[in-house]
Chain A
């Protein structure tokens, strides 16, 4: 039943479509309003289910190059997950530690982790870039970035 990639994706999309429709039907409707807030979401939910069903029966039109994109070596999947965890930690501590400190740590360790071995230039970029950006945003553009533990 679920032989091709298209069929598997379409099933996921149909489930999403049904979930969205259920929520759309729960939206309140008001009297004396010719078009309520639920009409567009209901239409979209139905459209998604219809399109996903078409996808289920459609022939696989992907080129070899497009298929090759999915063959990611396990090592790279690890790298992707690690970088996303770095970003997560970056966001988590951004307001607490401040933009400058967190960005310095992030740029240095992320670049190092991804294989940048010139530590001196890495350190220079990691220190200078966040300082320049912080200065530009807070002084010139009057947009405050999280200060956190940063003294200025």
Chain B
């Protein structure tokens, strides 16, 4: 199938009645879950995976993509109304969004957020459409050594995923990698760390890790904060109408950060959070009135909102074209692909063009839905924030249990879920970030396979990684991207 036919097939999927319906459901549910305090896109995607079982992969993945950017959008709503960002990517949104809400202009803030997200999302989908196929056609010639180097490059992103301590982030990643070694080794058939338990032969399912480490650990935090009354303090919405001056103020940051956010999203490890912070800081530096920032500035709200949505589509570039996730959220998204029997990567575009292009095409529609569906519904959505915490906690636990049971049909995995919930909570207590864990868990298995395939080709010689020019280049980039942040940390300590 030629690429034009592929694009047409993709648009047919996205614009079919089924496609439209699932994009709408995805965007709606994503926004809904993303708005709930403490629940981010990782939990949203993980909770939704079981619903896709037995579905046709194309509409299912179109829906999951909708959940992803819907959750990012939903996160900004709770940021603006409660100053309680559900997602780290929406933290910067609260800087100016919440002060605006305090001034009684919550409706205006939400409208700015929705329009900025829409433009950021749409521009970046166009860029995604141009870049992903190019990258796919380059990556198609990659052998195992190049793939190994590429994944290693993805893992070096961990140093930027840390909330302070790089060592802790690396330990978290090693732990995730260790967990993936449990089970039967695919190449030799050796049982590793199964302790004779039949349930461990196939390894631990990624959904157990994702729901345990994120959803259940979030439940623990919610239990502690269950008496927090912040949701009672949600501000009145006020008018959602924007003035000409508002549009004028938005135009600059929205244009700049659609591109910047996209580029940052493509880079491994950067993602929505870093994109939104960098955009906020850049905009503040560019502004003639930097003192307005943090006090309800239109520019200060539009910049991070545009960037985090643009970065979300940007993150799909490496995921779709290389099959490599650059962040915790895209790692879970990759899991969703694999559960449906779809392997993202350079072959996806030629083998399953309806999925590859279907997802991209659906993003155009998804962004429109986000705007026209959510803007008028915002006042009703705001009521979600008033769901009593005790009930929310019980329901999240129930969703996690269904999710794991529906994939494995045995209670052993449910006990593992409970165990990983405890692990996730303890990690939070001691500031070990969880995204590197899930990223290493997803990449680890593929990395080991690529590493051992490479060594099998070269009969055990490590020179195979140096002889392949692509692998060598990528290894050097990986090394540099790992060493640079470290040098910066050491320098800043000395200073």
Interface residues of A (CB under 8 A from B): 5, 9, 13, 20, 23, 27-28, 30, 33-41, 44-45, 47-48, 51-52, 54-55, 58, 61-63, 66, 69-70, 72, 76, 79-80, 83-84, 87-88, 90-92, 94-95, 99, 103, 106-107, 110-116, 118, 122, 125, 129-130, 133, 137, 141-146
A122 CA / B192 CA spacing, docked (Å) = 46
B482 within 8 A of A: no
What is the chain B residue whose CB lies nearest that of A93? B411
For B185, what are the chain A residues with a Cβ–Cβ distance below 8 Å?
Answer: 37
Q: How far is the CA of A87 from the CA of B219 in the complex (A)?
A: 12
Shortest 6 CB-CB contacts between residues of A and residues of B = A114-B390, A34-B460, A116-B390, A37-B185, A37-B190, A110-B394
**A129 x B188 contact (CB < 8 A):** no
Q: In the complex, A103→B400 CA distance in Å? A: 12
Contact B411 A95 (CB under 8 A): yes
Residues B53 and A40 in contact, CB atoms below 8 Å apart: no
Q: Are A37 and B192 in contact (CB under 8 A)?
A: yes
Report B213-236 residues with CB < 8 Å from chain A CB. Answer: 219-220, 223-224, 226-227
Complex: how many Å from CA A125 to CA B448? 46
A-B contact count (CB 8 A): 171
Does A48 contact B171, Cβ atoms closer than 8 Å? Answer: yes
Let me know if A72 and B393 touch, CB within 8 A: no
Contact flag A111-B390 (CB < 8 Å), given A66-B164, A137-B406: yes
B side interface size, CB within 8 A: 62
Determine the chain A residues whose CB is within 8 A of the CB of B165 once the complex forms.
Answer: 55, 58, 61-62
B224 CB contact (under 8 Å) in A52, A72, A130:
A72
By the criterion CB–CB under 8 Å, are A116 and B164 in contact?
A: no
Do A37 and B188 have beta carbons less than 8 Å apart? yes
Write the chain B residue with the least CB distance to A76: B224
- In the bound complex, what is the Cα–Cα distance between A41 and B391 (angstroms)? 42
Contact A79–B53 (Cβ < 8 Å): no
Interface of B toward A, CB cutoff 8 Å: 50-51, 53-55, 163-165, 167-168, 170-171, 174-175, 177-178, 181, 185, 187-188, 190, 192-193, 219-220, 223-224, 226-227, 388-391, 393-395, 397-398, 401-402, 405-406, 409, 411, 414-415, 418, 421-422, 425, 428-431, 448, 451-452, 455-456, 458-460
Q: Are B171 and A13 in contact (CB under 8 A)?
A: yes
Contact of B460 among A35, A63, A113, A145 (CB under 8 A): A35
Q: In the complex the two chains form, is B224's CB within 8 Å of A106's CB? A: no
Q: Do A88 and B418 contact each other (CB < 8 Å), given the known contacts A40-B448, A48-B174?
A: yes
Min CB gap B201→A, angstroms: 14
Tell me, in angstroms, the Cα distance from A20 to B182 when the chains sit together.
Answer: 11
Given A91-B415, A141-B54, decide whether A55 and B167 contact each other with a Cβ distance below 8 A. Answer: yes
